[in-house]
Every structure is written in C-alpha cells, then in structure tokens.
Amino acid sequence: GEGPSSGLRTTPATHESAFLKACRREPVPHTPVWFMRQAGRSLPEYLKAREGIAMLDSCMMPELVTEITLQPVRRHKVDAAIYFSDIVVPLKAIGIDLDIKPGVGPVIAEPIRTRADLARLRDLTPEDVLYVTEAIGMLTAELGATPLIGFAGAPFTLASYLVEGGPSRNHERTKAMMYGDPELWAELLDRLAEITGAFLKVQIEAGASAVQLFDSWVGALAPADYRRSVMPASAKVFDAVASYGVPRIHFGVGTGELLGLMGEAGADVVGVDWRVPMDEGARRVGPGKALQGNLDPAVLFAPTEAVEAKTRDVLDAAAGLEGHIFNLGHGVMPTTDPDALTRLVEYVHQQTAV
C-alpha cells in the first residue's frame, strides 16, 4: 500500500518482496540477491543491444534502458533490478560537457576547479531527465513484483570526476581543493548534493522502490576527513529523499574504516566490500541498519566449488544479521562468465530458503 514505508508507487506485491523486506530488516523467505553492474558487458545480450550505440546515448533511450535493465532479471532471477544508467547522467543532463570513454570511464571536457566553474552546476529539474521518468514507468510495468533500485553517484565520487577531469587513482586535485580551499569544496559538494537529491527524487516519483548512493571512491579518505568534508553533503542527499520511506543504500569501495559514518550519514542499508567480513561490518555499522554484500567479484573466476565455498563464508558471517542483501563487494567484472552469476543466485536462494 501507500504507507509511509512503502514508497510512492511501490505495489503491495513489490512491498512484500524479499529484497524490500531485507532492507526493512524483516524476516525473508530467502536471502535476496542482486549484483552491482548486473546489467552490462558480462551479458552477450547486452553487448548485442548496445551495438553501435554510445554508452551515454543508450542511457537516454527509454526502450533500450528498459530492455537492458530487464536482461539480468530474466537471465539470473535476481531479486531486484537496478536502473540502467550511469552516475554522470545527471551532470550531462544539466549541460556539463562529458563523455564515457570505453575502457576508461567518464571524461569531463572542462574540469570544475574554481569558484567561477561552480556556476556550471545548475539545479536539475525533472524536465532535464524526462527519459528517466519514461523508462522507469515502462520498467515498473514490466517488472511485476521485482523491485527497481534507482541510484546516483554521491557528492564525493562525482566531485572527483569533475575536479580531476576523469578517473583518478589518487584524487590529488580533488584532495588539493578539499584541504586547500575548504569553502569552495563545501560549496561544490553542496551543489552536487542538491543535484543528486533532485535526481533520486525523480527516480522515486517515477517508481523506484529503493535507491543506492554510490560513493565508490570515498574509501580514499580517512574517517576524520570524511566526517568533516563529505558526510554533510551525503547526509543532505539522504535527507532529501527521507520522506518517501524507500530504503536508502549507501555503498563505497575500501570503506572498512568509514562504515559507521556511512550509516550515520542517513542510510538504511550499508554496502560492505569483500575486505571486511559481514559480521565485523555489522559491528562497525551498529544496530538498526541492514547490510549488503560482499563476495569478492574476482571469486567468480574460480571453479564452482570454490565460488560456493566463498559464498558459504559470506552467508555464515551474515547469519546473525537482521537484514542481509547478498551482493558482490563491487561491480560484476566485464569478463565474468554469466552462467557463474546465474548459479550464484540459485545457490544463495537454495542455501538460505526457510
């Protein structure tokens, strides 16, 4: 129904799905499974659908987005779909000149480095992303009881791409701004929080029944810097969508030391990568939150028995948790055998069925 904890357009059947129950820390018929980057290059049907179409162009084609988003749901029987898009789509939508280069990632034509540059980060309105509303409408009609996860990049991770001008190993220019001009940095992150909050609202109002905030690269920071320079902006994003009552997932890579703070920022579910066992992750996050994770995506290149043994370890470590969503510790790698993913979903369902 349309209660405060059900989201705007989440149907009763979707509300009762294993995925949303686990997010709410309610008992589940089996541990729900989905994979970050489940839609993508590991699937031959994805490569075929994307043939001759640039990544960013594909994100603006509602029928193609619908098809690609549904592909892993059909093939793997995962418990949730994730909206096919990219974290830089809202930036493109407000007019930032950028591209996604194959094998590289997002590249920004004119990086954001001065106060004057901030003027280019205007507010995002629903009219800027009509294709998102359209695609999510089509998707929820097709998905039935399977929930759709909307997502956005978190202010720090978006800022890193904008300030560096592209992918970065060490985030040196980003940190130079953060430490050297804290006021400019705070304004930049606040602008990004506004844009990100507005983008998540569009997805929820269109029918997403959960959202994930990807702060993929925030593991580059120490806890004190995270708390001072990043957490206020991420908290603002979570606050912007709090009233909808849809579960808010917060994920980053290498964030073992930040897990408690990432929960504190306002998440209902905290993503854990493979470096921290789930029980230790739960201890660090503290009570009142579900956890998502955390099989090392590289394990999928090992023989089935090894995958199952490592999966069993994850399930055992998560056994005492109130609310576990099984996922990889980071995205599916492009050369992963899709059959290994299908087997993994089946294995987790079978091992956790009550």
Please list, residue by residue across 192-219, b when 16 or more beta carbons sit within 10 angstroms of its beta carbon and e when fewer do: bbbbbbbbbbbbbbbbbbbbbbbbbbbb
The answer to whether 41 is a known catalytic residue is: yes
161 marked among binding-site residues: yes
13 marked among binding-site residues: no
CA 165/CA 161 separation, integer angstroms: 5
Of 54 and 319, which has the nearer Cβ to ligand CP3?
54
Q: Which residue from 22, 23, 33, 39 is in contact with ligand CP3, where contact means CB under 6 A?
A: 39
Residues ≥6 apart with Cβ < 8 Å to 61: 53, 131
Q: Chain centroid to CA 314: how far?
A: 20
Smallest separation (angstroms) from ligand CP3 to the CB of 199: 13
Which residues between 216 and 235 bind ligand CP3 (CB under 6 A)? Answer: 216
Residue number of the CB closest to ligand CP3 reads: 216
267 marked among binding-site residues: no
Task: Please tell me whether residue 134 binds ligand CP3 under the rule CB under 6 A.
Answer: no
Over the window 262 to 291, marking each residue x when it contacts ligand CP3 by CB under 6 A and - when it does not, the resulting string is ------------------------------
Q: Which residue from 1, 103, 287, 303 is in contact with ligand CP3, where contact means CB under 6 A?
A: 103
Which is the catalytic residue, given 46, 83, 161, 244?
A: 161
The answer to whether 316 is a known catalytic residue is: no
Number of residues interacting with ligand CP3: please give it, by CB under 6 A.
Answer: 21
The stretch near ligand CP3 (CB under 6 A) out of 38-46, 119-127, 194-202, 340-348 is 38-46
Over the window 43 to 62, marking each residue x when it contacts ligand CP3 by CB under 6 A and - when it does not, the resulting string is ------------x-------
122 marked among binding-site residues: no
Q: Which residue from 38, 234, 327, 336 is in contact with ligand CP3, where contact means CB under 6 A?
A: 38
Which residues between 17 and 36 bind ligand CP3 (CB under 6 A)? Answer: 36
Of 6 and 154, which has the nearer Cβ to ligand CP3?
154
Of 82 and 193, which has the nearer Cβ to ligand CP3?
82
Which residues between 150 and 189 bind ligand CP3 (CB under 6 A)? Answer: 151
The answer to whether 279 is a known catalytic residue is: no
Of 6 and 197, which has the nearer Cβ to ligand CP3?
197
Q: Which residue from 263, 293, 331, 338 is in contact with ligand CP3, where contact means CB under 6 A?
A: 331
248 marked among binding-site residues: no
* Structural contact between residues 248 and 213, judged by C-beta atoms closer than 8 angstroms: yes
The answer to whether 86 is a known catalytic residue is: yes
Positions in the binding site for ligand CP3 (CB under 6 A): 36-41, 55, 82, 84, 86-87, 100, 102-106, 151, 214, 216, 331
Residues belonging to the active site: 37, 41, 50, 86, 161
